[in-house]
């Protein structure tokens, strides 16, 4: 939070996680004693775009942070993630360092790092489009559970980029490149890049490889075949699911708004990558 800000804080948690409300209330009391106005939201489905806040503090894992970003809609505020989940790669601090994080927040010592967001919608055979959903991490188009292999075509405008046959396709932002895409063999991108990564899932073609593209006007993914089913699924940030019929398309377009991530600076990404994933690590001799 910039120095001199009015310190209106929105504290976001998940009431389903044991003890969360009491812990967040404890920090709200501490912040109130330092002149902050705090509002607590524990319902994970409550919209956050209309809340009066200078900054959002999310207590939870990566899913909680992704959900908060979507719920802020086009009214993104500087957002600090405190990890109470398992991995917490997107969050800036572990829960045991909450006091340090809040001290740095109030002192204006955190760095605001904009991250690309996207709109995802489905275009049906009749040309109609579903209501767009705002996302931050990735969109996974995959087969139904027992539907056999599916075939997909990726387009940029009228130009076909590639055809994929297998279990599906992950389209990830640079920020999302360290999630499901990386687990499926995709590359790691620095999170400030304006790019998309296309990573095939269990491709039937050995020549199919992950593809990194500048975001430009986004991409479209057409459902060509779905095996035994009449539809495929698209999952947005692992939280919102859309059913897509054969011949339908998933459309990703870059959003004008940016997620306003609060962290310790650009070098912290690589420190966390090494600490949590052992990225590019090697045994050193004595």
Sequence spans of domains, the chain? 8-109, 117-256
What does DSSP say about strands 8-12 and 37-41: parallel, antiparallel, or unpaired? parallel
CA distances from 42 to 45, 122, 181 (A): 9, 30, 30
* Alpha-carbon Rg for the chain in angstroms: 20
pTM: 0.90
CA distances from 79 to 9, 85, 116, 192, 224 (A): 10, 17, 14, 16, 39
Q: What is the DSSP letter of 235?
A: E
Taking a C-beta distance cutoff of 8 angstroms, is the pair 59, 25 a contact? no
Instruction: Give catalytic residue positions.
Output: 62
**Which CATH superfamily, name and number, covers 117-256?**
Probable inorganic polyphosphate/atp-NAD kinase; domain 2 (2.60.200.30)
**CA-to-CA distance for 104 and 100, rounded, in angstroms?**
6
Q: Which residue has the tokens 């304006």?
A: 194
**Which CATH superfamily, name and number, covers 8-109?**
Probable inorganic polyphosphate/atp-NAD kinase; domain 1 (3.40.50.10330)
**CA-to-CA distance for 237 and 128, rounded, in angstroms?**
23
Tell me if domain 8-109 and domain 117-256 are identical in fold.
Answer: no
Walk along the chain (286 residues) and give the pLDDT tens digit of each residue: 445 444 899 999 988 877 889 999 999 999 999 999 999 999 999 999 999 999 999 999 999 999 999 999 999 999 999 998 776 678 889 999 999 999 999 999 999 999 999 999 999 988 889 999 999 999 999 987 766 789 999 999 889 999 999 999 999 999 999 999 999 999 999 999 999 999 999 888 777 899 999 999 999 999 999 988 889 999 999 999 999 999 999 999 999 999 999 998 876 676 766 666 665 554 444 4
Nearest C-alpha neighbor of 172 from the set 138, 216, 206:
138
Taking a C-beta distance cutoff of 8 angstroms, is the pair 245, 231 a contact? yes
CA distances from 209 to 88, 159, 163 (A): 28, 18, 11
């Amino acid at each position: 939070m910039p120095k001199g800000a009015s310190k209106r804080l929105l504290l976001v948690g998940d009431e389903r996680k044991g003890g969360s409300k009491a812990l967040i209330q404890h920090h709200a009391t501490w912040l109130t004693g330092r002149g902050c106005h705090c509002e607590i939201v524990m319902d994970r489905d409550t919209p956050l775009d209309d809340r009066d806040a200078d900054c959002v503090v999310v207590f939870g894992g990566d899913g909680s942070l992704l959900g908060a970003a979507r719920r802020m809609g086009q009214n993104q505020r500087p957002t600090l993630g405190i990890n109470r989940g398992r991995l917490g790669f997107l969050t800036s601090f572990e829960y045991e360092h909450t006091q340090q994080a809040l001290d740095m927040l109030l002192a204006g010592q955190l760095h605001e790092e904009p991250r690309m967001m996207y709109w995802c919608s489905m275009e049906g055979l009749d040309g109609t489009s579903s209501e767009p959903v705002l996302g931050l991490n990735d969109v996974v188009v995959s087969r139904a559970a027992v539907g056999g292999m599916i075939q997909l075509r990726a387009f940029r405008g009228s130009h076909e980029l590639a055809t994929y046959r297998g279990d599906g396709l992950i389209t990830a932002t640079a920020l999302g490149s360290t999630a499901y895409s990386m687990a499926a063999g995709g590359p790691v991108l620095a999170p400030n890049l304006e790019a998309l990564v296309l990573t095939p899932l269990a491709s039937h073609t050995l020549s199919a490889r992950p593809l990194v593209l500048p975001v430009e006007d986004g991409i479209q993914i057409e459902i060509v075949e779905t095996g035994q089913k009449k539809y495929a699924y698209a999952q947005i940030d692992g939280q919102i699911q859309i059913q897509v019929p054969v011949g339908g398309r998933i459309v990703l377009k870059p959003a004008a708004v940016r997620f306003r991530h609060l962290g310790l600076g650009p070098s912290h990404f690589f420190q966390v990558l090494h600490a949590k994933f052992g990225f590019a690590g090697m045994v050193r001799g004595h």
